[in-house]
Structure 1
Amino acid sequence: MKRLLSLLSLGALCHAAWADAPTHDLYALPLDELVRVQTPPQADVGSRDGAHNAPDALVPIDVYTAEQLQSVGPLQLTQALAALVPGMNHPRPSIADGTDHAPPFTLRALNPDQVLVLVNGKRQHQGALLHMNGTIGRGSTGVDLDAIPLLAVERVEVLRDGAAAQYGSDAIAGILNIVLKGYGHTSQAQLHLGQTTAGDGLQRQASVFYTRPLAGDGFINLTAELRDRGATNRAEPDPQDGGRTNLHFGDADTQDALLAWNAEVPRGDTTLYTHGQVSRRHSSAGAFFRPAGDERNLPALYPQGFLPRIEPRISDLSATLGAKGRWADGTQWNLAYTGGGNDFHFYVANSLNRSLGLSTPTTFDSGATAVAQHSLNADFSRAFGPHLLAGGYEYRRERYRIRAGEPASYLLGPDSPWYAGAQGFGGFAPDNAVSAQRSSHALYLDLKYALAPTLTLNAATRAEHYSDFGPTVNGKLALRLQPTPTWLLRTSISSGFRAPSLAQTNYTSTSMVRDGAEILQFGHYGVDHPVARALGAADLKSETSQHFTLGTVWRPTHNLTASADTFITDIRDRIMPTGYIAGWNLAQLSPQAQAILQQQHVDGATYFTNAVGTRTRGVDLRLDYQHDLPQGRRWHLSAGWQHARTRITQVNRAPAVLGVDMTDLILDPYTRVTMESGQPSSAFKLWTAYSTPRHTLAANVSRYGSYASTYGYTPVTFAARWTLDLQWRYQINTHTTLTLGGTNVLNTKPEAWGETDDAITGAGKPIRYSQYAPFGYNGAAYYLRLGIQF
């Protein structure tokens, strides 16, 4: 009852702020209508004043509810968000080593590591996988959202603004705040079964959400989930292999087990809380096929050729323990510890080490990468009438490790001079093993000041010191003017940064070849490695950004909101891997650099460097409308459009020792096209749901704008595409629901390489689609879902 009264009071206040009707209108409603009153979506992110109305915020914030996330079909959080959020890109690459098994997402045409992810307002650790193949997000790490069960999520808040001055590193493109279910929910279970119309990709999933209320609005929530997703394959028959389909080009075969929790226990004026998740994923996907006559094959082992399979085991853990409360003078405080990490352990099956001859094993442990993160937060805030002063301290410690694989996964044996290690994914050698760590301290201050009843200023600053690259200070100013109760203007300007990840600084992966009597090494080197240092590598600096947003919100009634925002994000010193530094690859490579390669017994090398500056310009449009109809019916429509383009505006100097220009070292045509045009230039999303007491029909329409890739060094542009998701949910009785739905029911496929220009792309190749395709290439899929409340 306390929560219901709070909700009604909040609804009355929101209604008074945004509409002309007086507050007592709500209290005059009958109870059956009162419980259906829709209040503006609430958000915690963007300001330190606690939960606030998202449409009324000083910065652009979108809120996606559990109803929306569950209605688009996929029960993986990343795919559900990508189906709803304009400007969120989540391609599903294939034949891309580890990226097949944990594909990253991006926001606003930037990189995966330029988005900060929070869970209940606390920083979530990055994944251990460094995406090093030719995928969107190459050279970066990203958070694995699919380690969080969707049934545990109450809402997701998307902050569309630079926020590093408030939340620290990574918040350049924006913030995702995943809010877990709290008090007042009902225990439930779900069974999900689905498959593509092509007959593959069988999905079986079982989820249980259990909640137990405690005294004083306390609660304990547990969510357990098992997923089994079969592989999909859209590879074409290979005319050079007798018309067999020998490749795997599609989703990986994955099995996941997940557990999440969220709990609050009030004790007087203090509330103890904890939340977190633990998950384990087993996955399998193919590398490139080795034909029978390929010199990398041993016909005695694989007379028909072989398809190596990369089969990682991925573990993810995060846990937060904290306490919060209010002192007698009204000061709110929050103390918390968050710890967690991600472990990505590579295994390879159906393979061989060609250099070991017939003594080779066919399965390999290729080693692992792992990250760990521990942070302590102390937050304080106090309201002074309409004003708010908040601040705090954060200590964070991070660790990155590479563990070597078994010897056969990386050794160069006597049988072949060129093909050392496991085919598909060569193992990490002992020389690649690393254990690196760093710490940071941050002080931050946030001021919200009402200059006038209709004019609010927000100022924030954050000073931070990293043990590896030193101090950084960032600031933000936001201004909101509300000249009428139904219309507001908002603008913000801020500076931000992204600390170079420990993976970018320390990642090393090498292999060996034999050149006559000499054994040469080649691969990627950490910036502190002697080979990288000799070739001009320097300590990585943080990426720095400047962000500007200008927008308006119009809310003529309590159930209609429209907004328009334009933004500019400038980033300097973006971190990228170099091209392959070798005499045969860079024609102008200096004699000094070639001598260094010879002295170090290295065939060629890459490393990370601060390379370029970019500018991203964009426009966001949003519309949300809710309408209550007679007899308990309701219609809800939410639409959004984003247009964003990134352009390279500055190229740093290359190390003098190399004797080449940075453009030649970094920006080959493939890299430039990927950075500037590899993601859709625009995105449109329209989600709508019509509900009655027994039925709910939801539709989700998406338009993915054009994007580009390269065939060799030739740019190829792929056309925009529309997709449609449908779902019908039937309330069988008070406790049971049956859901039937389809994703991409029009069976839309991305434009294929051969449709673009057969002469350029070579139609008839086994791989028809670019791995940059923003909605994948599986086509239509249908599912059946049974839900039970208990």
Structure 2
Amino acid sequence: MKNTLGYALICLSISTAFAAQDADEYYQLPLEQLLQVTTQAKAQVGSRGDKRNALDAEVPIDVISAAELESSGHTSLISALAALVPGFNAPAPSIADGTDHAPPFTLRGLNPDQVLVLVNGKRLHQSSLLHNNGTVGRGSSSVDLNIIPLDAVSRVEILRESASAQYGSDAIAGTINIILKGYGQSSQARMHYGKTSKGDGEHKQASIFHSVPLSGDGFINLTGAWRDRGRSNRAAADTEDGGRINTRFGDADTQDGSFLLNAELLQGDTTLYSHALYNRRLSNAGAFFRRADSEQNIPELYPDGFLPKIAPKITDYSFSGGAKGILSDDTHWDLSYTHGHNDFHFYLKNSLNASLGRISPTSFDAGSTDYTQQILNLALSKKIGLHTLSYGYEWREEHYRINAGDSASYVQGPHPSAGGSQGFPGFGLANEVSQRRQTHSIYGDLNYRLSQRWTLDTATRLDHSSDFGSTFSGKLALRFRPTDTLLLRASLNTGFRAPSLTQSHFSYTGSYRNSADPAPTLWGNFAVDHPVSRALGAKDLKVEKSTHFAMGLVFEPAANLTASVDGFITDINDRIMPTAYISADSVPTAKSTLKQYDIDGAVYFTNAIKTRTHGVDLRLDYSHELKQGATLKFRSGYQYSKTRIQSINPPSTVLGNNAENVVLDSFSRVLVEQGQPAHRFNLRSTYSTRSYDLMFNLNRFGAYASTLDHYKVGFAAKWTLDAELAYHFDQSLTVALGGVNLFDTEPDTWEDSGYPRDPADKVVPYSQYSPLNFNGRYIYMRAHYKF
């Protein structure tokens, strides 16, 4: 930590050394230069009142502009934020079933489902996919940020603070509020093309944004986007298969089509508003290769072996509509309805069901998962002198479904081989489920101005759910400005995350064939209320509850220089995790239960552990006006966050003497405590003139650890550098050339870490946990035209 903290402090010292203009000097500027002055970023997240300066808030907030997202060189929102925001982690999964096609992200080293995502302040639905393999985010369902086209985004606000007292479940690690482009935007078209230095991973993207101004400040904004991301492959040669590269380890081959509407219409004192989103994704990625002589293969169908390909079709749509206005007593009101849906439909290509023999199909419909969310919200807010009182009511319904696939995708045929489609056995009739949850919430928020320099912000929320009962959350935040250049802040709040319907009701079964046993053996991931899970000690899942404390300061010695530091501690009780694989070998006391249900082993979800995450955030913003209208800007950030397991919840006695290792095995411990980098540093610099912009983005991804054969393996920290030169031919046309990871930095391989492996395992060179994409250097061009 000392080295990286030193880098951040050096950058702070260098930037502070620049002579800064006093704010009063802006009054002396001519109109042409005054129009180019940039003010503090505004943010609405974390407050029920009007948006305010992000740096003047009681809690830490990052604001990422549309220009920063565009010049990052990335075509997806997740990748762009991972490049720009310390503490935002988005590893690139591969050979991880559905996770390859809808990757998760995290904040502050916590879980993907402990982050709340809003669009224009309205909750965005989660994906129905459960990340169920050995990736960061295992055992969770997350929001798929990549369904939102970059051209529709005005800014992204990231609240680095627990906010359950304001927004409800999930907002433990933080809240992301995506603000869509509104009034006064220019219509524009954009094209992007790029590929890696190794010649693969080709990216093609085209988008158009059209804005129609209406009377007053009304508008209708339409965004259409198409993105084609070609696959990349970093798998090594298989020495046991003639030295050929037969596996795909890299980005999935993905095509996205997106449409987004954002509109406001003024009707007297009332504003009608809505935003709607539709995204359709076709994706294709490989599973593990099946060699020609494998018992999983049928040589008559695949004489040279085969690579099963998981090719899901994913559909997301969302709609929010409402009205807002001001009553006669100056009470602001906002009534809205939100509907969101995700359908994740699994298809298999180039596969087979070995238990069906030669008559097996080679393509399968493996079933689907669906998630639907509906929200009705009434929010009221009133100024009382210098104070603001906000309160409201919210109703939310969730619906989760698993739908069976074709029978050939899961059936056990007459041949003594593992049943089901290879690569991903389909959901069977026994896995089908349809479960709903309704939650009613009332909330209140009081921003109280104790004096001109002291502000107290309080919030409370009571949620009552149809399945887990009632939960109360509270927040207390204090802001003190002893001088005009210094702000001190502290906050204490409680939060919660309801167990997702996927965690409570996910069910997935399959079979494998042990070479020592001629008959296939069944295994399963069972819902917590399934008889197998109950017999093995499962109980209904409880709510995860958190306590968050933070203290920090913001120092603004000049209008163009701001530095902030915030420390935090987050305790989470009853964190939900999947158990280790419960078999007769690992848990002898479970042998009779497993035999009774004729299965080899089982996994279920449980409230497993208590954790503490502590850390510090440093931020620095500096800008300097140069001659002839040129501007130099620096933005740097550093985050340290470390999670420790404090205790393991008492496991069921059914699991015997080894129960704690079943609830928390070595794999899960390393994933929670060291699977994500504790340190992350970012320095972004931009030099802008009327003719061109030159951007450099320097990142340091900290060290992390993974597991292999139950052994912990460490991986070193890495530096990367991105750069872009954008030339403005006129006020309408901009053409840019850039590179991501210009020095072609690669994460450590397993061998680099010093861990020896069997030659058969070397086809996969990198850990799934790598925060650095393993594609290497990526070069791109983009064109941006306003009309």
Q: If the TM-score is normalised by the length of the shorter chain, which range does it land in? A: over 0.9
2:46 corresponding residue in structure 1: 46
Distance in 2 (CA, whole Å) between partners of 1:201 and 1:531 is: 44
CA-CA distance at 1:760 after TM superposition: 5.7
Aligned to 2:397: 397
Q: CA deviation at 1:733?
A: 2.0
Going from structure 1 to structure 2, the CA distance change for 1:83 and 1:21 (only over 3 Å counts) comes to closer
Q: Does 1:434 align with 2:412?
A: no
Partners of 2:506 and 2:267 in 1: CA distance: 46
Alpha-carbon displacement from aligned partner over 1:155-199 (angstroms, at most 9, x marks no partner): 000101111111100000001100000011100001111000000
Matching residue of 1:526: 527
Q: Distance in 1 between matches of 2:198 and 2:657?
A: 49
Q: 2: distance between equivalents of 1:239 and 1:519? A: 29
Alignment of 1:629-708 (within 5 A): 629-708=626-705
Alpha-carbon contact 2:445-2:458 (below 8 Å) kept: yes
Which stretch of the first structure deviates more once superposed, 368-377 or 325-334?
Answer: 325-334
| Alignment match, 1:360 | 360
How many Å apart are 1:585 and its aligned residue?
2.7
Report the equivalent of 1:139.
139
Q: Give the Cα separation in 2 of the matches to 1:233 and 1:273.
A: 44
* 1:96 positional shift: 0.5
Residue 517 of structure 1: CA displacement? 10
Check whether the contact 2:23–2:559 (CA below 8 A) recurs between aligned residues: no
Residue 6 of structure 1: aligned partner: none
Change (3 A) 1:245 1:517: closer
Matched letter for residue 538 of structure 1: K
Structure 2: distance between partners of 1:406 and 1:319: 32
Q: 2 CA distance for matches of 1:205 and 1:407?
A: 38
Look up the equivalent residue of 1:460 and give its one-letter code.
A
- The alignment partner of 1:688 has SS state of strand
- The amino acid across from 1:690 in the alignment is Y
Correspondence 1:574 to 2:571: no
Q: Summarize the Cα distance change of 1:55–1:636 in structure 2 as closer, same or farther, 3 Å threshold.
A: same
The sequence identity of aligned pairs, in percent, is 54
Equivalent residue of 2:633, what SS?
A: strand
Q: Structure 1 residue 758: deviation in Å?
A: 4.7
Work out the CA distance in 2 between the residues paired with 1:700 and 1:26. 29
Please name the residue that 1:496 is paired with: 495
C-alpha RMSD of matched pairs (Å): 1.6
Gaps of 5+ in 2: 1-19
Find the aligned partners of 2:760 and 2:615 in 1 and give their Cα distance: 35
Q: SS at the partner of 2:323?
A: strand
Query: Are positions 1:236 and 2:236 aligned together?
Result: yes
Aligned residue number for residue 555 of structure 2: 554
User: Where does residue 5 of structure 1 map in the other structure?
Assistant: none
Alignment of 1:721 onto 2:708: no
CA distance in 2, matches of 1:760, 1:734: 57
Assess, with a 3 A threshold, how the Cα gap between structure 1 residues 324 and 26 changes in structure 2: closer, same or farther: farther
Q: 1:661 to 1:481 in 2, by over 3 A?
A: farther
Query: How many angstroms apart in 1 are the aligned matches of 2:40 and 2:388?
Result: 22
What is the Cα deviation at residue 131 of structure 1?
A: 0.4
* Counterpart Cα distance in 1 of 2:564 and 2:512: 58
Name the counterpart of 2:14: none
Counterpart Cα distance in 2 of 1:543 and 1:87: 22
Shift, 1:660, TM fit? 3.9
Which amino acid letter does the alignment assign opposite residue 466 of structure 2?
Answer: S
Q: Deviations over 1:50-95 (max 9, x none)?
A: 1100000000011010111111100100000000010011000111
Which residue of the other structure, out of 758, 768, 784, is the alignment partner of 1:787?
A: 784
Whether the aligned pair in 2 keeps the contact of 1:652 and 1:662 (CA below 8 Å) is no
Aligned to 1:775: 772
SS of the residue 1:217 aligns to: coil
Q: Counterpart of 1:659 in 2: which secondary structure? A: helix
Matches of 1:289 and 1:526 in 2, distance apart? Answer: 30
The code of the aligned residue for 2:683 comes to L
1:350 matched to 2:347? The reply is no
Letter in 2 for 1:766: V
CA distance in 2 between counterparts of 1:497 and 1:353 reads 43
Q: 1:391–1:446: 8 Å Cα contact kept in structure 2?
A: yes
Matched, 1:105 2:102: no
**Residue deviations 1:199-243, cap 9 Å, x none?**
001111100000011110101101100011100000011111111
- Mapped to 1, the partners of 2:520 and 2:759 lie a distance apart of 37
SS, match of residue 335 in structure 2: strand
Amino acid at match of 1:439: Q
Residue type matched to 1:668 in 2? D
Q: Decide which moves more: 271-280 or 657-666.
A: 657-666
Q: What is the Cα deviation at residue 659 of structure 1?
A: 1.9
In structure 2, the partner of 1:153 is: 153
2:520, 2:148 → 1: CA distance?
Answer: 45
Residue 505 in 1 paired to residue 504 in 2? yes
Structure 1 residue 602 displacement after superposition = 2.1
Question: 2 CA distance for matches of 1:440 and 1:735?
Answer: 49
Q: Which residue of 1 aligns with 2:540?
A: 539
Classify the secondary structure of the residue corresponding to 2:677.
Answer: coil
Per-residue deviation, residues 729-784 of structure 1 (Å, max 9, x unmatched)? 11112211111111001100001111111536769811111111102100001111
Preserved CA contact (<8 Å) 1:61 1:160: yes
- CA distances 1:627-680 after superposition (whole Å, capped 9, x unpaired): 222212111111000011100001011112222444211222111111100001
Does the 8 Å contact 2:86/2:639 carry over to 1?
yes
In 1, Cα distance between the equivalents of 2:121 and 2:169? Answer: 15
Task: Tell me which residue corresponds to 2:747.
Answer: 750
CA deviation profile, 1:702-739 (whole Å, cap 9, x unmatched)? 00000000121111110000001111111112211111
Q: Give the residue type in structure 1 aligned to 2:309.
A: R
1:732 counterpart residue number: 729
> Does the CA contact (< 8 Å) of 1:651 and 1:662 recur in 2?
no
8 Å contact from structure 2 (residues 522, 601) kept in 1: yes
Unaligned runs of 5+ in 1: 1-18
Which residue number corresponds to residue 375 of structure 1? Answer: 375
Q: Which residue of 1 aligns with 2:3?
A: none
2:284 — aligned with what? 284
Query: For 1:299-351, what per-residue CA distance to the aligned partner results, in whole angstroms no more than 9, with x for missing partners?
Result: 11111110000000011111100101112221111110000111110000001
Please say if residues 134 and 768 of structure 2, whose CA atoms lie closer than 8 Å, have aligned partners that are also in contact. Answer: no
CA contact (8 A) 1:158 1:175 kept: yes
Look up the match of 1:450.
449
Alpha-carbon contact 1:621-1:642 (below 8 Å) kept = yes
Question: Offset at 1:410?
Answer: 0.2
Secondary structure of the structure 2 residue equivalent to 1:215: coil
SS in 1 for 2:232: coil
Kept in 1, the 8 Å contact 2:696–2:721? The answer is yes
Stretch of structure 1 that moved more, 447-456 or 514-523:
514-523
Output one character per residue of 1:484-538: Cα deviation in whole Å (capped at 9) or x when no partner. 0000100000000000000000000012468989886321011111221222211
Query: 1:686 & 1:233 partners in 2: Cα distance?
Result: 30
What is the rounded CA distance, in whole Å, between the counterparts of 2:185 and 2:23 in structure 1? Answer: 31
Asked if 1:618 corresponds to 2:615, the answer is: yes
Question: Over residues 434-491 of structure 1, what are the superposed CA-to-partner deviations in whole Å (9 max), with x where a residue is unaligned?
Answer: 0000100000000011112111100110000010000000101000010000001000
| Alpha-carbon distance in 2 for matches of 1:480, 1:774 | 35
Q: CA 1:447–1:359 in structure 2 vs 1: closer, same or farther (change >3 Å)? A: same
2:165 is paired with a residue whose SS is helix
Check whether the contact 2:409–2:426 (CA below 8 A) recurs between aligned residues. Answer: yes
Which residue pairs with 1:179 in the alignment?
179
What does 1:190-201 align with in structure 2 at a 5 Å threshold?
A: 190-201=190-201
CA contact (8 A) 2:191 2:784 kept: yes
Using the alignment, how far apart are the partners of 1:659 and 1:770 within structure 2? 33
Moved more, 149-158 or 325-334: 325-334
CA distance in 1, matches of 2:305, 2:703: 37
2:303 is equivalent to residue 306 of structure 1: no
> Structure 1 residues 315, 22: closer, same or farther in 2, change over 3 A?
closer
In structure 1, the residue matched to 2:319 is: 319
Q: Is the 8 A contact 1:290 1:296 kept in 2?
A: yes
**SS at the partner of 2:78?**
helix
Query: Normalising to structure 2: TM-score of the pair?
Result: 0.95
Instruction: Look up the match of 2:762.
Output: 765
Q: Residues of 1 paired with 2:353 and 2:519: CA distance?
A: 20
SS of 1:511's partner is strand
Change (3 A) 1:758 1:474: closer
Match of 1:206 in 2: 206
Distance 2:374 2:203 in 1: 35
